[in-house]
Amino acid sequence: MNIGFIGLGNMGGPMAANLARAGHVVTGFDMADVSVQGVTMAASAAEAATDQEVVITMLPNGRILRAVAAEIVPAMRQGAVFLDCSTVDVESARAVADQAVDASLLPLDAPVSGGVGGAQGGTLTFMVGGSEAAFGKAKDLFDVMGQKAVHCGPSGNGQAAKICNNMILGATMIVTCEAFALADKLGLDRQAMFDVVSTSSGYSWSMNAYCPAPGIGPQSPADNGYQPGFAADLMLKDLRLSQQAAEVADADTPMGEAALALYERFVEQEDGAGRDFSAMLPRFEKRGRG
């Protein structure tokens, strides 16, 4: 396929490289001066989007997505797929999808899970909103960039799935870290706690696959000084999106709201900025009941 790819940062760059390596003709654009192996760079987003079968965007937020969409939608050819892989608010995703449909394009919102490692290894999971026709046209690309793509329903539902998933993740990581800190104070060995919890009703991805305690369970960022696999800053962004969506939908999400407040404090007032989101554990280790 002829593909335009806009947003070639830590996630978009490896994704575009994988598409080029698979034999697709990829034209890219980024506001920064970057180069990606196998990707021909364009002078503007509109140039990268012109006459492509698929245009992929990977952008920081909904405001930037709306601005880029305003530039590239008029340049895209009718019937092309507009595949946005950014994590943004549901309202922006649906507004951009409506704009694309009005221009006879096929929009998909397809935020990802898997982080930079997944982007590099082509093992991302895509949560996809949009029409069956658009999903079918992009299926081969999902197979190159990831290991799984789930069609979640109409436009905006991909973002809804990502936001709900990461609200669960943020809350479960907090309570996993709290539990390890409590176990320490109760004199319970961390390995013993892991061996019990990981095979009983406390089982979770945060415990079993991404354990926040160094030296316990599979290799994780905790074993690398909490260098980010998934940064606390990004978790904060996703939790804010969850509460923005909850406000619009009139949904009661007290645990999501509490998780947001804790990550706001951790990132903006403490030492969480630039650290992995599981670095909540050393935070709780240092704190008492007050």
Where among 110, 138, 154 does a domain terminate?
Answer: 154
Q: Say what the pTM is.
A: 0.91
Cα distance between residue 107 and residue 73, in whole Å? 10
pLDDT in tens, 238-255: 999 999 999 999 999 999
DSSP symbol at 252: -
pLDDT digits (tens, 9 = 90+) for 174-183: 999 999 999 9
Same domain, 120 and 30: yes
Looking at 90, 121, 154, the residue that finishes a domain is: 154
Question: Domain holding 129: CATH number?
Answer: 3.40.50.720
* Same-domain check for residues 115 and 84: yes
What domain count does the chain have? Answer: 2
Answer with the one of 154, 171, 195 that is the final residue of a domain. Answer: 154
* Structure confidence by residue, pLDDT tens digits, 14-38: 999 999 999 999 999 999 999 999 9
For the stretch 66-97, pLDDT in tens is 999 999 999 999 999 999 999 999 999 999 99
Place of tokens 């946005």: 84
Quick one: 96 and 139 in the same domain?
A: yes
Average pLDDT in the 136-164 region? 97
DSSP category for residue 147: E
pLDDT at residue number 27 = 98
Structure tokens, 33: 């001066």
Which positions are annotated as active-site residues? 162
- Averaged pLDDT, 39-49: 98
* Judgement on whether residues 90 and 205 belong to the same structural domain of the protein: no
Same domain, yes or no, for 170 and 130? no
User: Residue 125 pLDDT more than 90?
Assistant: yes
DSSP run (H or E) holding 63: helix 62-72
Same domain, 138 and 235: no
Q: Are 166 and 95 in a shared domain?
A: no
Q: What percent of the chain has pLDDT over 90?
A: 97
What is the residue range of 169's domain? 160-286
User: Average model confidence (pLDDT) for the chain?
Assistant: 97
Tokens of residue 224, six digits: 């690398």
Instruction: State the CATH number of the domain containing residue 190.
Output: 1.10.1040.10
Label each residue of 81-103 as H, E or C. Answer: EEEECCCCCHHHHHHHHHHHHHC
